[in-house]
Structure 1
Amino acid sequence: MENESGGEVFSKSVRAGKRTYFFDVKSTKGNDLYLTVTESKKVLNNGRETFQKHKIFLYKEDFEKFKEGFEEALAKIEELRGGVSVEDSSFSRVDFEDL
Structure 2
Amino acid sequence: MEENKDFKDKNDLEIVFSKAVKAGKRIYYFDVKKNRRGELFLAITESKKKLGDDESQVSFEKHKIFLYKEDFEKFANGLSEVTSFIDRVNKENGIERRQTEE
TM-score, scaled to structure 1: 0.74
Does the alignment pair 1:63 with 2:82?
no
Q: Runs of 5+ in structure 1 lacking a partner?
A: 92-99
Other-structure match for 1:25: 32
Other-structure match for 1:72: 81
TM-score, scaled to structure 2: 0.72
Other-structure match for 2:18: 11
- Please give the per-residue CA displacement for 1:1-59, whole angstroms capped at 9, x wherever unaligned: xx9xx611110001111111100011112221110110000001343110010111011
Structure with the greater alpha carbon radius of gyration: 2
Percent identity of the aligned residues? Answer: 47
- Distance in structure 2 (CA, Å) of the matches to 1:9 and 1:61: 19
Distance 1:27 1:18, change over 3 A: same
> What value does the CA root-mean-square deviation take over the aligned residues?
2.4
1:78: Cα distance to partner? 1.4
Q: Runs of 5+ in structure 2 lacking a partner?
A: 1-7
Other-structure match for 1:42: 49
1:90: Cα distance to partner? 3.6
1:69: Cα distance to partner? 0.4
- Distance in structure 2 (CA, Å) of the matches to 1:68 and 1:89: 23
- Distance in structure 2 (CA, Å) of the matches to 1:80 and 1:46: 37
SS at match of 1:82: helix
1:89: Cα distance to partner? 5.4
Distance 1:33 1:90, change over 3 A: farther
